[in-house]
Amino acid sequence: MRARKLLGLTVLSLAACGGGGGSEPDRYQQAVDQANQAEVTARALGVPSPCQQDQQCGLLTFLEPTACPTQTYQIYSTASATAVAASAAASQQVALAQQAIALNPNPPQPCPLFPVRAPPTPVCVANVCQAG
């Protein structure tokens, strides 16, 4: 009986302190997983064709949910049937990655300097969007 009371008090105190809803590292990992899943979805929806002119090619931008975030890109056809969904999923990925970065339980450290690469220029070649 005494063990039950002690267990009950422990559970109550954890809940009162916010300890019942998952730890900070767990929330961080969940946010990273959600950002990664959104990227997988956006990349699958962002197909390179069809296109007839360069203006029908676009760029999906992603943010790595890491302590030193960098952007990655995928060229896609804005004329494809899945273009709107791809763009929405890519936007969602960036928002989720930003949340994950904000939840990172590790103390911030200076990021190494990497050469900043310009995003690729999407062009339409033989009805397929690609880097120009």
Q: What is the pLDDT of residues 83-110, one digit of tens each?
A: 999 999 999 999 999 999 999 988 777 8
Give the mean pLDDT of the chain. 84
Residue/partner pairs of 88-92 with CB below 8 Å, 24 or more apart: 89/38, 89/39, 89/41, 89/42, 89/45, 90/38, 90/39, 90/42, 90/46, 90/60, 90/61, 90/62, 92/38, 92/42
- Beta-carbon contacts of 55 under 8 Å, excluding residues fewer than 6 positions away, are 78
More confident position, 8 or 37? 37
